[in-house]
């Protein structure tokens, strides 16, 4: 385990410009009992120092790499948990430090509980052009089960505030397979979403992640997972969203034509990206590293001029290829035939089982294959 980017022996000379940046903002006003992302309860006494650390880290990365971003993604946690002036400070810092002339997409994850008309206007003014809004459900009872800090009415108001601020690319995050959720309930959540006409919808099947309260409740038998019901939820999602004109371009992602996420597509294609902030991963060339998963330690390290990297990993061509196959298999473009050359038997088996089909020289999942995407990917690992 190395401790510094310098030890990674990367140099501007050997690596092309970094085109994709992820920034992790870990604060949340309330911790949701199903969430396993690195996050911490919002502590306003820490946030300004944290924002300074992010900008210092970015400055340090500029010494290591040429950075000319096409996409920037502020995720979390909840980036909008920061105050409007802290977001302004951060975004202005990015403008000062980076050449943003090639920037195509700048996304910020937003929680309906922390979006205001003023905050939305400032984000828009500073160049953010895509918002990912964590709605999850339009049912207040289910929002309560999920421990969300907002109501369905607040989520709808946030959506309208974002549109009014000039955002023409809004993603709505939804979850299905929730405890107590019926098929009818999910259908009306989808219908309500479609009526609002977001440009993009991410629909995730609830995962009982280890180290979460939901995981314990599931282990105690309070919550049950029903694979058959999940398959029906997924089937309805595909049907309703496709009928409404959304392209199903990745297992959990649907977009109006021209609105697929450039940033996420870059990940799925195995492109290099730089991660800033606690817990953020970076992958550049044959190296992958992760920053420490503790925002206080991250800020202390960066502000005192030390590296925030917690661990590093050397990738092999084989590892990169396997990852590329697993990720691109989930997309509507599928995997190129040349990539699957070494897996002729597995490919033929999946075709015979009706899980894969050939399209334009690529192998793509069939509808049945999409329902079993994880198992299909495993066949190629």
Binding stretches for ligand SF4 (CB under 6 A): 28, 31-32, 35, 37, 39, 76-78, 111, 134
Pick the closer one to ligand SF4 by CB: 75 or 310: 75
Answer with the entry of ligand SF4, ligand SAM, none that 137 interacts with (C-beta below 5 to 8 A by kind): none
Identity of the residue, 109 or 250, whose beta carbon is nearer to ligand SAM in the bound complex = 109
Shortest separation between residue 80's beta carbon and ligand SF4, angstroms? 10
User: How many beta carbons lie within 10 A of that of residue 18, not counting itself?
Assistant: 21
Contact string 166-195 vs ligand SAM (x = CB under 6 A): -------x-x--------------------
Bridge-partner residues for 373, per DSSP? none
Examine residue 136 and tell whether it contacts ligand SAM (CB under 6 A).
yes
φ, ψ for residue 359 (rounded to 5)?
-150, 120
Determine if 26 is a binding residue for ligand SAM (CB under 6 A).
no
3-state class percentages of the chain: helix first, strand second, coil last, to nearest 5: 45, 20, 35
Q: CB under 5 to 8 A by kind: which of ligand SF4, ligand SAM, none does 173 bind? A: ligand SAM
Query: Cβ of residue 30: shortest distance to ligand SF4, in angstroms?
Result: 7
Closest to 135 (Cα-Cα) out of 157, 164, 116, 119: 157
What is the footprint of ligand SAM within residues 272-311 (CB under 6 A)? none
| Member of 21, 55, 56, 75 binding ligand SAM (CB under 6 A) | 75
Q: How far is 20 from 319, CA to CA, in rounded Å?
A: 21
b/e 141-172 (16+ beta carbons within 10 angstroms → b)? ebbebbebbbebebbebbbebbbebebebbbb
DSSP three-state, residue 133: strand
Torsion (CA) 359, 362, 364, 366 in degrees, nearest 10: 30
Q: Which does 267 bind (CB under 5 to 8 A by kind): ligand SAM, ligand SF4, none?
A: none
Residue 10 or 216 having the CB closest to ligand SAM? 216
Q: How far is the CB of 29 from ligand SF4 (least distance, A)?
A: 7
Name the 3-class secondary structure at 78. coil
Token pair, residue 11, equals 């140099």
Specify the length of the chain in residues: 381
Toward ligand SAM, which CB reaches closer, 114 or 347?
114
Query: Restricting to residues 210-249, which ones interact with ligand SAM according to CB under 6 A?
Result: none
- Max distance between CA atoms of the chain, in angstroms, equals 59
Residue 273 DSSP class = B
Footprint of ligand SAM on this chain (CB under 6 A)? Answer: 34-35, 37, 75-76, 78, 109, 111, 134, 136, 173, 175, 204, 206-207, 209
């Amino acid at each position: 385990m190395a401790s510094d980017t310098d030890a990674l022996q990367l140099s501007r000379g050997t690596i092309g410009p970094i085109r994709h940046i992820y920034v992790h903002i870990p604060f949340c006003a309330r911790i949701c009992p199903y969430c396993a992302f690195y996050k911490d309860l919002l502590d306003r006494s820490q946030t300004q120092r944290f924002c300074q650390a992010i900008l210092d880290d970015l400055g340090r990365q500029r010494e290591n790499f040429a950075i000319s971003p096409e996409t920037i993604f502020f995720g979390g946690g909840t980036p909008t948990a920061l105050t409007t002036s802290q977001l302004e400070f951060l975004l202005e810092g990015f403008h000062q430090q980076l050449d943003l002339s090639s920037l195509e997409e700048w996304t910020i994850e937003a929680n309906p509980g922390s979006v205001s008309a003023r905050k939305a206007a400032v984000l828009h003014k500073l160049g953010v052009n895509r918002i990912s809004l964590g709605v999850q459900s339009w049912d207040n009872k289910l929002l309560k089960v999920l421990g969300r800090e907002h109501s369905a009415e607040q989520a709808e108001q946030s959506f309208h505030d974002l549109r009014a601020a000039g955002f023409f690319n809004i993603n709505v995050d939804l979850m299905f397979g929730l405890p107590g959720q019926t098929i009818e309930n999910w259908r009306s959540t989808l219908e309500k979403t479609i009526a609002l006409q977001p440009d993009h919808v991410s629909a995730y099947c609830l995962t009982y992640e280890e180290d979460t309260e939901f995981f314990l409740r599931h282990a105690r038998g309070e919550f049950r997972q029903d694979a058959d019901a999940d398959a029906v939820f997924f089937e309805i999602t595909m049907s309703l969203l496709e009928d409404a004109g959304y392209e199903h371009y990745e297992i959990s992602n649907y977009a109006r034509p021209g609105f697929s996420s450039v940033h996420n597509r870059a990940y799925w294609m195995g492109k290099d990206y730089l991660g800033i902030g606690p817990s953020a991963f970076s992958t550049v060339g044959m190296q992958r590293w992760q920053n420490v998963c503790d925002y206080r330690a991250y800020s202390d390290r960066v502000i005192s001029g030390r590296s925030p990297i917690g661990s590093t990993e050397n990738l092999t061509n084989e590892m990169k290829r396997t990852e590329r196959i697993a990720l691109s298999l989930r997309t509507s473009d599928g995997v190129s035939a040349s990539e699957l050359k070494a897996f002729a038997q597995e490919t033929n088996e999946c075709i015979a089982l009706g899980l894969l089909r050939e399209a334009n020289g690529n192998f793509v999942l069939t509808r049945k294959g999409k329902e079993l995407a994880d198992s299909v990917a495993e066949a190629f690992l």
